[in-house]
Amino acid sequence: MPITGYKVLLEGNNLARILESILVVIKLSLIALVIGLVLGVFLGIQRTTSFKPLRWLLQVYLEIFRIVPLLVLLFVFYYILPEALGAEVGNQTVSILVFVLWIAAEMSDLVRKALENVPKSQIEIGRSLGFSRKQIYRVIILPQGLPAIIPDTLNLVTRVIKSSSLLMMIGVPEMIRVGTQVIENYAVSVPTASFWVYGGLFCLYFALCYPLERLAVHLSAKYAAQ
């Protein structure tokens, strides 16, 4: 009996491969986010320093990862750097490295803006109480600044999940790459395979990103009302 419609998803190990690709996306995204967000907070704090050379260097780093397309960065790190260094690097390792640097750059800018928005009067109060620079950051600046960037951080998380589709270009078995392979296997026998497979992937991406987007909107409205 010929395979038709949605049954393409259930044929053989197609569904298992797609589900496994979701786990790959979640794993790589989580690793990159945990490292990148922590690094981004640290770099964001450094960007508020009075040491101008460090601020300039971190600004250049931010602009590189903001201006250069993420796909180009993936190609540079995957094809050019290993050859220049004479070392072979796996595609998932490259993916994590590039995403960590990208996330950290974006997060550092969010943190910088949040910390600079803390009222100067609060900082002056801390100084009048004899707080050191570290104490001012720990007691006054960070507790007031960081909660305000939670909505933007959630938006960054959704961008990371959506951008994971670019990893197919360096051979990472993420959802789009696996879905495309499934479609190619049925391109002749099941002409509607692309509709069902890509439709299924659409639903999966929506299920992953929509709750985060709604939570970001809710928190943004909450902080705006305060």
pLDDT in tens, 152-197: 999 999 999 999 999 999 989 899 999 999 989 887 788 888 898 9
Percent of the chain with pLDDT over 90: 55
* Largest CA-CA distance found in the chain, in angstroms, rounded: 82
User: Looking at residues 8-26, what average pLDDT do you find?
Assistant: 89
> What pLDDT shows up at residue 138?
83
Give the domain ranges of the chain: 7-225
Indicate the pTM of the whole model: 0.89
- The packing angle between helices 52-67 and 91-116, to 10°, is 130
Dihedral (C-alpha) 181, 184, 186, 189: value to the nearest 10 degrees? -170
Q: Mapping DSSP to helix (H, G, I), strand (E, B) and coil, where does residue 144 land?
A: helix
Mean pLDDT of the residues in the chain? 89
Count of alpha carbons within 13 Å of 131, Cβ hemisphere only? 17
Dihedral (C-alpha) 166, 172, 175, 176: value to the nearest 10 degrees? 50
Worst-scoring range by mean pLDDT, 35-39, 101-105, 140-144?
Answer: 140-144
> What pLDDT shows up at residue 110?
93
User: Looking at residues 128-154, what average pLDDT do you find?
Assistant: 85
Class of the CATH domain delimited by 7-225: mainly alpha
> What pLDDT shows up at residue 121?
84
Contacts for 142 with CB less than 8 Å, ≥ 6 apart: 115
pLDDT per position as a tens digit, 36-82: 999 999 999 999 888 899 999 999 999 999 899 999 999 999 988 88
> What pLDDT shows up at residue 226?
66
